[in-house]
Amino acid sequence: MLLGAVPLFPADTARAEIAADGPLIIAPNLESFTLDNGLQVVVIPDRRAPVVTHMIWYKAGSADEPEGQSGVAHFLEHLMFKGTKKHPNGEFSKIISERGGQENAFTSTDYTAYFQRVAKQHLPLMMELEADRMENLVLSDAVVDPERDVVLEERRMRVDSNPGSQLREAMNAITFVNHPYGSPVIGWQSEIEALNKDSAIAFYDRFYTPNNAVVIIAGDVDIDEVRRLAADTYGKVARRAEPGARVRPVEPPLAGERRIAVSDARVRQESVSETWVVPSRNTGAGHTPEALDVLSYILGEGPSSRLHKSLVLDQKAAISAGAFYQSTALDDGRFGVYATPRPGHTLEDMEQLISREIQLLLETGVSEEEVERAKNSMIASAIYAQDSQSGLARLFGGALATGQTIEDIQSWPSQVKAVTAEDVLEAARAYLTAPPVVGELRTAPDEPAAALSETTPLKDKS
């Protein structure tokens, strides 16, 4: 089981040189259709090997949870393996394992996804299994209560025992004070402890309906055969709920800098990060999302980026430095920069150096050469991502579950190619001039571990 978001396009700077002449449509042979019950099915043929990747994405994640029930989306992900009348507890995973397949599941803020990779002849069975548990999940206190303890232990191991995870959780909480992105995907401990069979079933009944899901099938398949299989399996699942549009509270602009620090004796390498709330690919207008993507490459992607060259190579003040842009989100995402100081340098040094680089960019802009290099790298990444069957399935699933269309995804390289140096500077001035959320990870050899993971976020009711 995994927590977190799926990146839209991974970086691959080594192949940037050929990107400009490559194809500008992602998965051009893709086909999509919608069943009568509202289920969208996306088929990406790939005949290089007799295997298929089968994924189902539900448009429901931690940001869709009822107030006071943080973690129920992830909890239900665990419980989806507890069986139906036809396939009792444990049989789902056993069937896949016996056929030499792989499986996994993961929950993020905006979606929950389930994954199988099997030999092509087992695709009908995978579709039957997923269709069955879409409407026939059987839960009892006898299986729910122990699984809640499993999730609590997962939280203790992944968050409460990990200073870096504590900082990320606390930063999210102070970044999104009014928006549900501020709650951890795994949930707050006190709220996990209160989850039960009824809360899980209520979430299941509301969101696990075919008209709120997308099935992605990538591999050695025939489109007509997939249509028949989909009708015979998923097509028989009743459309039992109408989740409606996902309208969430708007996060107000920051009135000033927000800052948080986690100090822990287990920290061996200090670091600092700064983040801003920015438009995602779903909420951004015009070329803003693509410009932010290019900006993140110029500032902090790879050895030729500004932060790496300045802080790591030239000034030798940092061990690492970079930037990121969270583009795949239903609502606004985040833009961030970070640095890890070398011995002899402080977190305050890192902040000053980062601020200097950002200010330089804001004052003088970016060069056409930098923009072209970043765009070529990004487009190359998208092209070569098509070599990965599961990567394509995740790319389309994550994007479709967060408000984008197939056309949006396929045309992404062309949208990136249209970005100009002026677009990048405009995006930087629009968002990086606001006060950031600052997070510090500090070592504290003589202090007990900080307990920030149970810091309940303030709710802005204004």
**Over the stretch 244-300, which tens digit does the pLDDT of each residue have?**
999 999 999 888 899 999 999 999 999 999 999 999 999 999 999 999 999 999 999
CB–CB of 43/223 below 8 Å? Answer: yes
Q: What CATH number does the domain located at 258-443 have? A: 3.30.830.10
Domain residue ranges in the chain: 31-236, 258-443
Please provide residue 240's backbone torsions phi and psi, each rounded to the nearest 5 degrees: -100, 0
Give 30-81 pLDDT, tens digit per residue: 999 999 999 999 999 999 999 999 999 999 999 999 999 999 999 999 999 9
CB within 8 Å of 91: residues ≥ 6 apart: 83
Q: Which CATH class is domain 31-236?
A: alpha beta
Has residue 445 got a pLDDT over 80? Answer: no
Identical fold at 31-236 and 258-443? yes
* Helix or strand holding residue 104 (H, E): strand 102-107
- Of the listed ranges 8-12, 113-117, 405-409, the least confidently predicted one is 8-12
Write down the pLDDT at residue 458: 33
**Catalytic one of 65, 77, 135, 370:** 77
| Whole-number Å distance between alpha carbons of 81 and 430 | 45
pTM (2 d.p.) = 0.91
Q: How far apart are CA 276 and CA 336, in angstroms?
A: 6
350-409: pLDDT as tens digits: 999 999 999 999 999 999 999 999 999 999 988 888 889 999 999 999 999 999 999 999
Mean pLDDT of the region 17-31: 69
Query: Is the pLDDT confidence value at 461 over 70?
Result: no
- The three-state secondary structure class of 326 is coil
Whether 77 is a known active-site residue: answer yes
What's the mean pLDDT when you consider all of the chain?
Answer: 92
Q: How far is CA 54 from CA 103, 106, 108, 117, in A?
A: 9, 14, 19, 6
325 has a pLDDT exceeding 60: yes
CA of 278: how far to CAs of 275, 327, 433, in Å?
A: 9, 9, 12
For the chain, how far is it from start to end, CA to CA, in angstroms? 37
